[in-house]
């Protein structure tokens, strides 16, 4: 598992639930005190242990924790780089949705060895979409993990707020080898949204 993914989990637990909670999680997962190095690969089983320990420590289901992780990755000021990467997908939320197919490739432009699971967006009716998160997600797909689809659910909720769009999201019917998210776009300009500047200010 790429260290950036593991480091994101560590930062999520620390920033949202405090350093003491992360220490409890690391201890339960048999992880040394230094935590994860962002540019080192780790055994995927270790990622699973950390997520399991996080859920036990927080007393929450895996799907909820992963969705909160997705929201954190977009909305927390410590992870501004990911928000910028996603906002380059377009000026409006519909443009952003249509750019999701290219997200794994854009992520590799930023980090060459970071392999995100393939994403496929399909418009099934006006303002109604299905996002398919294909096999290859960075989490186990057994009964204890809803996987990358839950992370993307949180990302989509946060990005809708970022663009000022009103959307209804739900997990779609199970499909072989993928998770499905149902997206209903109610209003593109429901609220003002967050400010976004293409270029960074100097100094």
Planar angle of CA 78, 84, 90, nearest 5 degrees: 150
**In the prediction, which pLDDT does 145 show?**
37
In the block, tokens 């209804």 appear at 168
pLDDT of residue 22: 93
pLDDT of residue 191: 73
In whole angstroms, give the CA distance from residue 54 to residue 44: 15
DSSP per-residue string spanning the chain = --HHHHHHHHHHHHHHH-HHHHHHHHHHTT--TT---TTS---HHHHHHHHHHHHHHHT--HHHHHHHHHHHHHHSGGGHHHHHHHHTT-SSHHHHHHTGGGHHHHHHHHSTT--PPPEEEEEEETTEEEEEEES--SS--STT--THHHHHHHHHHHHHHHHT-EEEEEE---BTTEEEEEEEEEETTSS------SSPPP-
At 35 the pLDDT is 76
- For β-strands 128-134 and 178-187, DSSP reports them as antiparallel
What is the model's pTM? 0.85
The pLDDT value given to residue 139: 42
Distance CA 9, CA 47 (A): 9
pLDDT in tens, the chain (203 residues): 566 788 889 999 999 999 999 999 999 999 876 677 766 677 778 888 999 999 999 999 998 999 999 999 988 888 777 788 888 777 889 999 999 998 888 777 777 667 778 899 999 999 999 999 886 444 444 433 347 889 999 999 999 999 999 999 999 887 777 889 999 999 887 777 666 665 554 44
Compute the distance between CA of residue 181 and CA of residue 70 in angstroms, rounded to an integer.
Answer: 14
pLDDT of residue 155: 93
**Model pLDDT, residue 105:** 84
């Amino acid at each position: 598992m790429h260290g950036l993914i593991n480091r994101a989990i560590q930062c999520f637990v620390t920033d949202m639930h405090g350093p003491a909670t992360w220490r409890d999680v690391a201890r339960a997962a048999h992880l040394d005190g230094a935590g994860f190095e962002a540019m080192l690969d780790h055994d995927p089983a270790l990622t699973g242990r950390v997520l399991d320990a996080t859920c036990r420590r927080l007393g929450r289901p895996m799907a909820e924790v992963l969705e909160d992780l997705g929201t954190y990755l977009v909305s927390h000021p410590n992870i501004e780089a990911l928000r910028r990467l996603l906002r380059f997908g377009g000026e409006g939320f519909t443009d952003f949705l249509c750019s999701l197919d290219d997200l794994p490739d854009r992520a590799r432009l930023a980090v060459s060895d970071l392999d995100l699971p393939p994403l496929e967006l399909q418009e099934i009716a006006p303002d109604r979409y299905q996002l398919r998160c294909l096999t290859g997600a960075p989490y186990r797909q057994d009964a204890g993990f809803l996987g990358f689809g839950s992370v993307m659910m949180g990302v989509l909720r946060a990005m809708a707020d970022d663009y000022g769009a009103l959307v209804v999201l739900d997990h779609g019917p199970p499909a072989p080898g993928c998770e499905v998210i149902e997206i209903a776009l109610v209003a593109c300009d429901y609220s003002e949204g967050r400010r976004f500047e293409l270029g960074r200010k100097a100094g």
